[in-house]
Amino acid sequence: EVQLLESGGGLVQPGGSLRLSCAASGFTFSNYAMSWVRQVPGKGLEWVSYTSGISTAEYYADSVQGRFTISRDSAKKTVYLQMNSLRDEDTAMYYCAREAVQFGEFPISLDHWGHGTLVTVSS
């Protein structure tokens, strides 16, 4: 069974940093690209970042480009999202999700999602 478990959320002041983790299990981790998607409570979904499984490709939404960094550790089967220079508008539930198709090279569709970790940016 595919499982994704996010952690690392919490309360942080504007300008601060936070690192989210997503521990994966139940599938061949290196074969699948992964994305982070966020959702402001009561609002819609916003794609944040993508890391491919087989290459070093990393992509970001314009809203986080230059502030967030995605990475993955195949040995630990974990995806990370390093978030720097956090702003009030980064407050959201952050979901980790797996691409539906193996060996993809860009974000298309997400077939498994974690339960999310809440990030609150506030002074």
Quick one: 35 exposed, middle or buried, by C-beta within 10 A (0-12, 13-18, 19+)? buried
24-83 residues near other proteins, rule: CB under 8 A: 35, 37, 44-47, 50, 57, 59, 61-62
Minimum CB separation of residue 68 from other proteins in Å reads 14
What dihedral do alpha carbons 18, 100, 46, 1 form, nearest 10°?
A: -50
- Residues in binding contact with other proteins, number by CB under 8 A: 24
Query: Strand runs (DSSP E) across 1-91, as ranges?
Result: 3-7, 10-12, 18-25, 34-39, 45-51, 58-60, 68-73, 78-83
CA distance 20 to 88: 17
Of 32, 68, 80, 95, the residue at the interface with other proteins (CB under 8 A) is: 95
Of 22, 29, 64, 114, the residue at the interface with other proteins (CB under 8 A) is: 114
Task: Work out whether 115 is an interface residue with other proteins (CB under 8 A).
Answer: yes
Minimum CB separation of residue 84 from other proteins in Å reads 21
Minimum CB separation of residue 45 from other proteins in Å reads 4
Task: Work out whether 89 is an interface residue with other proteins (CB under 8 A).
Answer: no
Our CB check for other proteins shows the closer of 29 and 95 to be 95
Closest CA to 64 of 42, 44, 81: 81
